[in-house]
Amino acid sequence: MIHVERLDDAEPLTLAVVVREDGSESRHQVKVRRTTLDRLAPGHTPEQCVTAAFRFLLDREPKESILGEFELTVIGRYFPEFERELGDYLPPC
């Protein structure tokens, strides 16, 4: 289960993420700029975008390997296909 909560509306937005699976959890803090949201996930909420990003990450690595704090676009440094494939993880608009 992935739970995402927006912590503030400042720029950049800060979202808290809790990933629970296999009887344990990991906690993360993600920052994302509105311009990035508009580019990567037009028509979606910040929470939907970050949830999709975590689904993408969890398909590639265990929750314990995900950074504790990061800016959303940093995922592309580790997984170059991130921006191209993120749409596959987003719900329909």
Angle at the Cα of 12 (from 11 to 17), degrees rounded to 5?
135
Residues 6+ apart with CB under 8 A from 18: 2, 3, 25, 26, 27, 28
Half-sphere exposure of 43 (CA within 13 A, CB side): 5
Assign 22 a pLDDT band (cuts: 50, 70, 90). Answer: confident
Is the previous residue joined to 12 through a cis bond, with omega within 30 degrees of 0? yes
- Per-residue pLDDT tens over the stretch 40-69: 999 999 999 999 999 999 999 999 999 999
pTM of this structure: 0.96
Decide: 4 and 16 in contact? Cβ < 8 Å. Answer: yes
